[in-house]
Chains A and B, each alone.
Chain A
Amino acid sequence: MAIEVIKPGLATTVQDAGRPGYYSVGIPLSGALDQYALRVANLLVGNDEGAAVLEASLLAPELVFRAPAIIAITGAEATPKINGEARPRNESFAVKADDKLTFDFMKAGARCYVAAAGGIDVPVVLGSRSTYGLGALGGFSGRKVAAGDVLPVGKPRSGARAGRKLAAELTPSYPKSLELRVVTGLYFHRLTDAAAKSFFEDTWTVAPEADRIGYRYRKGRPLSFRERKQPFGAGSDPSNIVDAGYPYGSIQVPGGLEPIILHRDAVSGGGYAMIGTVISADMDRVAQMQPNNLARFVAVDMATALKARAEYKARDAEMRSQLSA
């Protein structure tokens, strides 16, 4: 089986569960930005939950299936259509040879996932099929898919079948305004008292520059950093530090202007002070924010972060048991 790309959409890439272990040489995790949607898509079609799928951002692609297949679509609320006829999201269905998949625009959410039984079968690079665009690594030729590309699909498992469905209560919604929980720290102490307060008081708007590397926010009040004699090796701006490693989910504010949350294609380090980190349980929600969506940042402690993580894992476990039944 293979999938042919008719129109690539805005930024469609092959992604899987990710490529841990190489961050110290600047190669980030990559993988589906919304990992829950990835797992659901795969389990619906009988794949391993971390198999490779297509991740489409904001504007979905047009695809043609070259042979019959079982597929599933998860993530952003964009109605999938086969030869112009609406199909369900979060439910596996069969396609025939030469069927064409298109999408309505994304009403809510920013990323949808297309899984095919058997998984997208591009070569495994450093343990993963994920695309890391900045490094031209993995995925389909190390880049976004383009019109005319033909993506190979592996051999489906015997359990692949149409009609497998995710229960409504396990289907996330993608609100246009939400709260993101942050553990402060790292270089939070470099902010002035006023900035440390206003960061959490203001409502921030997702900027058009929001991608797999990082999500940029604007329209909050500028954040000022405490004046100091800069340490040797740090840059001259008070928002600069001696270049250091950036955690996934960490928030940096170059020049104090626009906070950036680093996501799974993160630049692994640099010289901008990080003021805190979005908790792991909220990273899928960041991934589904569209430009102009609104966020408030809420400070939480480690116990809250771990509790949220446990809840996230519990929902995962429930989803798994339901989809493997």
Chain B
Amino acid sequence: MSGIRYSFGADEHVFAEIDEEMSLEAFFKGMAICKELEKRKLPGVTEICPSNASYLVRFDPDVIHPDKMLATLREIEAQVGDAEIEMPTRIVEMPVLYNDPWTKETGARFRERHQDPNSTDIEYAARINGYKSIDDFVAAHSGAPWFVSMVGFVAGLPWLYQIVERSKQIEVPKYLRPRTDTPKLTIGHGGCFMAIYSVRGAGGYQMLGITPAPIYDPAQKLPYFKDFLAIFKPGDMVKFKPIEREEYDRDLAAVEAGTFDLTFKPVTFSLKSFHADPAGYSRHLVEALHGH
């Protein structure tokens, strides 16, 4: 990574590209800068949006001149530097029914838009990532936790990046042409990112499974929507738990009854500790979930 590349989005935005390629380092640097900017509560700054390897700031140029805005961001860049980054955050476990019937049915309807019309999305993803079976693929996908590296596209939709070395990153192409339909709460994967579809709609990610846990609800019905109608913020950590159909149905009934809940546990992420022992550190993060 060299210096950040800044560019104005006309008179109301600054876009900052930390790096052209995705990495935990780029993501963390963007998060650190955005957190510092948030802390300063600068008048005129209206939106601070960290994303995968970049961030976006929207501002009112009548309150803060674009040159001043840019100078402030450069100053924060220098302040954050390449300091050892430790980020206090939280981790949550999400149940996932991998290889579920609903996304399979949807996938079947759009087969002519897929690279490999003779496989299902998850068979294809497992095979091109060198896994012998869907089970092995699921074990890797649900083994190490993921960072929410961006929230958006539509309300509450998290992009996630797995906390493993680059050689272990799961990568799949998007559909050749996007589907016009994706079930709500589909677990999708495109490029090196996964996404949880917060609402039903168009999409181009490979569909790997589905979670019973709502992640966006304007009616805020479940206990974990008490404070806000979307649960994920950039920087959150998520561990996926493979479940069977019986448990999925039970969870769904609990969602219907309004009793389903998710628990977030506090945890601190250290990039240095991760690099020292990726697999061990990943286990350490997951332990935070179980109260150790």
Is B216 in the interface zone, CB < 8 Å from A?
yes
Contact B12 A280 (CB under 8 A): yes
Q: B233's closest neighbor in chain A, by CB? A: A25
Interface string of B4-29 (1 = CB under 8 A from A): 00011111110101011111000000
What size tier do the contact residues of chain B reach? 35 or more
Q: Are B53 and A242 closer than 8 Å at their CB atoms? A: yes
**Bound complex: CA of A240 vs CA of B48, how far in Å?**
23
> Is the Cβ of B153 less than 8 Å from the Cβ of A26?
yes
Residue pair B49, A249 in contact (C-beta under 8 Å): no
Could you tell me if A235 and B174 are in contact, using CB atoms closer than 8 angstroms? yes
- Set B15, B50, B218: member contacting A135, Cβ < 8 A: B218
CB contacts (< 8 Å) of B192 on chain A: these are 232-233
> With an 8 A cutoff between CB atoms, is B101 at the interface?
no
Total CB contacts across the A-B interface at under 8 A: 181
In the bound complex, CA of A235 to CA of B53 (Å)? 14
Q: Is the CB of B51 within 8 A of A26?
A: no
Contact for B9 among A135, A137, A185, A234, CB less than 8 A: A185
Asked if A23 contacts B21 (CB within 8 A), the reply is: no
Q: Report the interface size for chain A: residues with CB under 8 A from the other chain.
A: 52
Q: Is the CB of B153 within 8 A of A267?
A: yes
Q: Which of A24, A126, A234 contacts B47 (CB 8 A)?
A: A24
- In whole Å, how far is A173's beta carbon from the nearest beta carbon of chain B? 23
How far does the alpha carbon of A4 sit from the alpha carbon of B117 in the complex, in Å?
Answer: 49
Give min CB distance, A13 to chain B, whole Å.
15
Most buried by A among B47, B61, B216: B47
CA distance A24 to B152 in the complex (A): 7
Q: Which residues of B contact A (CB under 8 A)?
A: 7-13, 15, 17, 19-23, 46-56, 58, 61-62, 66, 150-157, 159, 166, 173-174, 190-193, 198-199, 201, 216, 218, 228-230, 232-234
Q: What are 29 sample pairs from A and B whose C-beta atoms fall under 8 A apart?
A: A23-B49, A23-B58, A24-B49, A24-B151, A24-B233, A24-B234, A25-B152, A25-B155, A26-B155, A135-B156, A135-B216, A183-B11, A231-B21, A232-B22, A242-B20, A242-B53, A242-B54, A244-B15, A245-B15, A245-B56, A247-B12, A249-B10, A267-B152, A267-B154, A268-B152, A277-B13, A280-B12, A302-B66, A309-B11
Instruction: Add 14 more A-B contacts to A231-B20, A277-B8 (CB < 8 A).
Output: A24-B234, A26-B153, A27-B156, A134-B199, A137-B218, A183-B11, A235-B174, A242-B20, A244-B17, A245-B150, A269-B152, A277-B10, A280-B11, A280-B12
List chain A positions with a Cβ less than 8 A from chain B: 20-21, 23-27, 125-126, 132, 134-137, 142, 182-183, 185-186, 231-236, 241-250, 267-271, 274, 276-281, 302, 305-306, 309, 313
8 nearest A-B residue pairs (beta carbon) = A233-B22, A247-B9, A245-B56, A135-B155, A268-B152, A231-B21, A26-B152, A277-B10
